[in-house]
Amino acid sequence: MNKPALLGGTPVLAKRPDHFTWPRPVDAAYEGLKRTLHSGIWGTLGPENERFASKYAAYCHTKHCLPVLNGTISLELIFRALDIGWGDEVIVSPYTFSASVHSIVLAGAMPVFADTDPETFTLSPASVEEHITPRTRAILGVHLGGRPFDFDAIDAIARKHSLILIEDAAHAHGSEWRSRRCGSLGRAGSFSFQASKNLSCGEGGAITTNDTALYEKLWSMHHNGRAYTQQGYDHPILGTDARLAEWQCAVLSAQMERLDGDIERRMRSASLLDREIENLPFLSACKKDERITRNSLHLYPFRYHSDRLGGLSRKLFLKALNAENVCFADEGYCDPIYRMQMLYTEDFARLTGRIFRDPSGELPGNELLASSEGCWLQHTTLLGSDEDILRIVEAAARIGKYAEELQRAFAQEV
Ligand SMILES: Cc1ncc(COP(=O)(O)O)c(C=O)c1O
């Protein structure tokens, strides 16, 4: 067997393939941009905004979609519109990007971290229930990497305790739980169209909901607090400017063309990987769940067991894997969000009126993923052919075989 590239061997692929490049434009995007350029409407709430909002609402199986500036302000607007703030607690997954937490704090509420199920990388329902207090108002579930959280269990908990369930669907464009699309499962769903996302316009976001009153309030809030559908200088409620420009909406409508084909390709790649990974004792795929009828696979999360490879560190394993040019792999959210300095600032105390207590040591599932086992592949890796996917497995096997040598050669790095 050839040596790993990191030890001077020939990499499995001479260079990274073209399908790793992201975002990738569809031709129709040029049309949309040209249309906007000559429309005289370069701002917002014009025909491109309307076209995209109705197209994306239909795609998410919701009555309404509100395009906004990004997938962070979308969450903050949802909390504010639902009057979740000072004195309230929101239970949230700790295995997430900072925006899920920032938005809760900026609304004035206290984030409370339930544990992550290491077999799914999403919220553990049992832990959610354990973290409910008289102050809990909502649960923010994250569909990590496009994999829906256990909606049956978490929705049942929310109903039992009269809590509002909100979806952070930043990764989950087109994912489904029992054939119901993400973004339509909770009271509201929040999407991101930032450059790395499966559906992208550079920077952008959207809120989806079936609740018409909530949608109308959100519309007002994202349009400087003007009354629903109104323009001008009357501002009955507090709001901000979170409107998404026509350019981005035009690009999004066009880019939607490739969403379903890409999902199909990624799901095929993921099931091939799931199967092949079973032959590599030092890796495990996420638990299968038949209730997930579609997965956008923004990420392909998996676990690395260093103890089954003579202690070869996760960092070094991934470095060696990336050197083979077959994938983009990384350690994911390896610094737990509840240890980030932002939660221990004076600003935090001023905004929430409370001091944050570090839950380190109480969330073993999340600690396991963060500190040692959690890894993921970026979605572009899954857009290749079956052959491309098998090359990832070949590369991992090669590293497995040379684990001892790698450890010796890079002893000073780990
Ligand atoms: C889980 C999650 N939520 C929210 C966001 C925020 O989205 P945006 O970057 O559009 O503000 C992201 C962005 O990466 C994310 O990964």
Please write the tens of the pLDDT for every residue from 272-330: 999 999 999 999 999 999 999 999 999 999 999 999 999 999 999 999 999 999 999 99
135 classed as catalytic: no
Distant-in-sequence, close-in-space partners of 64: CB < 8 Å, separation ≥ 6: 53, 57, 208, 209, 210, 211, 212, 215
Distant-in-sequence, close-in-space partners of 10: CB < 8 Å, separation ≥ 6: 2
Pocket test residue of 122, 167, 192, 337 for ligand 1, highest count of atoms within 8 A of CB: 192
Q: What local confidence, expressed as pLDDT, does residue 1 receive?
A: 63
pLDDT tens-digit readout, 141-193: 999 999 999 999 999 999 999 999 999 999 999 999 999 999 999 999 999 99
233 classed as catalytic: yes
**Selected catalytic residue, list 52, 79, 97, 348:** 97
66: confidence class by pLDDT, cuts 50, 70, 90: very high
151 classed as catalytic: no
Report whether CATH 3.30.530.20 matches the domain 28-257.
Answer: no
Instruction: Name the amino acid, one letter, at 188.
Output: A
Distant-in-sequence, close-in-space partners of 104: CB < 8 Å, separation ≥ 6: 75, 79, 84, 90, 92, 110, 111, 140
d(CA 114, CA 136): 12
**Selected catalytic residue, list 226, 298, 319, 391:** 226
SS3 27: coil
* Choices 1.10.10.10, 3.40.630.10, 3.30.360.10, 3.90.1150.10: CATH for 5-22+259-413: 3.90.1150.10
d(CA 254, CA 208): 19
Q: Which H or E element spans position 137?
A: strand 136-142
Contact (Cβ atoms closer than 8 angstroms) between residue 53 and residue 67: yes
**Selected catalytic residue, list 88, 173, 194, 282:** 194
Give 3-state DSSP helix, strand, coil % of the chain, rounded to 5: 45, 15, 40
- pTM > 0.85: yes or no: yes
CB-defined site of ligand 1, < 6 Å: 70-72, 96-97, 99-100, 142, 168, 170-171, 192, 194, 205
pLDDT exceeding 70 applies to what percent of the chain?
100
Give 393-409 as a 3 state SS string.
HHHHHHHHHCHHHHHHH
Domain ranges for the chain = 5-22+259-413, 28-257
pLDDT tens-digit readout, 17-62: 999 999 999 999 999 999 999 999 998 899 999 999 999 999 999 9
**Is pLDDT above 80 for 414?**
no
413: confidence class by pLDDT, cuts 50, 70, 90: confident
